[in-house]
């Protein structure tokens, strides 16, 4: 198994993706999930799941890698972008919980349980998009590694059971930083 421990250290240390702006926290509302199964297998020793859209927005599914605290087992599965806490009455909260500030996530009700239970993971992406306001209006701006390789963005994840259908939903929020 070719697990890249530096990527797991990123999530375990709760280090968010390292891009920030001078005015506000850079938040991710849209990203391209990686489809590079060979990279995922080489880095984590797991198979990339199928059945997710090329681009993800809040409410869309995307691949997330997690590692068990008890067994050390690594798994990759699909989770919904926008964390739905276990106590939520419905999934609408996920529209507002797709990014969590790492400096305050431990105190915020939506993220507190996931943080306390160390439910960290990595969202596997090729790139993400942010608005650039250099022209005076929002223009979609692609951010990717210079190498073009996929990368992981630290996230918190949680499980929620839909009270209407009984469906178990796994969801996540990307960790951000104002540093």
pLDDT digit of tens for each residue in the chain (179 aa)? 343 333 343 333 333 334 333 344 456 789 999 999 999 999 999 999 999 999 999 999 999 999 998 899 999 999 999 999 999 999 999 999 999 999 999 999 999 999 999 999 999 999 999 888 889 988 888 999 999 999 999 999 999 999 999 999 999 999 988 76
Q: Return the H-helix or E-strand segment holding 69.
A: none
CA distance 100 to 86: 16
3-state secondary structure of 59: coil
Using an 8 Å Cβ cutoff, are 160 and 64 in contact?
no
Q: Which of 87, 4, 67, 81 is nearest to 39 (CA)?
A: 4
Q: Which of 97, 172, 122, 109 is nearest to 16 (CA)?
A: 122
Amino acid 5: pLDDT: 36
Domain 5-176: which topology?
hypothetical protein yedk fold (3.90.1680)
Please report, in angstroms and rounded to a whole number, the separation of the first and last CA atoms in the chain: 34
């Amino acid at each position: 198994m070719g697990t890249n421990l530096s990527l797991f250290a990123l999530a375990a240390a709760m280090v968010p993706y390292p891009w920030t702006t001078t005015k506000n926290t850079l938040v991710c509302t849209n990203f391209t999930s990686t489809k590079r199964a060979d990279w995922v297998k080489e880095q984590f020793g797991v198979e990339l799941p199928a059945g997710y859209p090329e681009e993800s927005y809040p409410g869309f599914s995307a691949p997330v890698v997690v590692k068990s605290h008890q067994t050390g087992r690594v798994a990759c599965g699909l989770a919904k972008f926008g964390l739905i806490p276990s106590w939520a009455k419905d999934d609408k909260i996920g529209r507002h919980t797709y990014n969590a500030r790492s400096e305050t996530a431990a105190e915020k009700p939506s993220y507190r349980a996931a943080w306390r239970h160390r439910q960290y993971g990595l969202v596997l992406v090729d790139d993400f998009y942010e608005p650039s306001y250099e022209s005076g209006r929002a223009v979609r701006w692609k951010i990717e590694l210079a190498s073009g390789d996929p990368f992981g963005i630290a996230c918190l994840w949680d499980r929620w059971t839909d009270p209407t259908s009984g469906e178990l939903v796994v969801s996540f929020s990307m960790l951000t930083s104002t540093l």
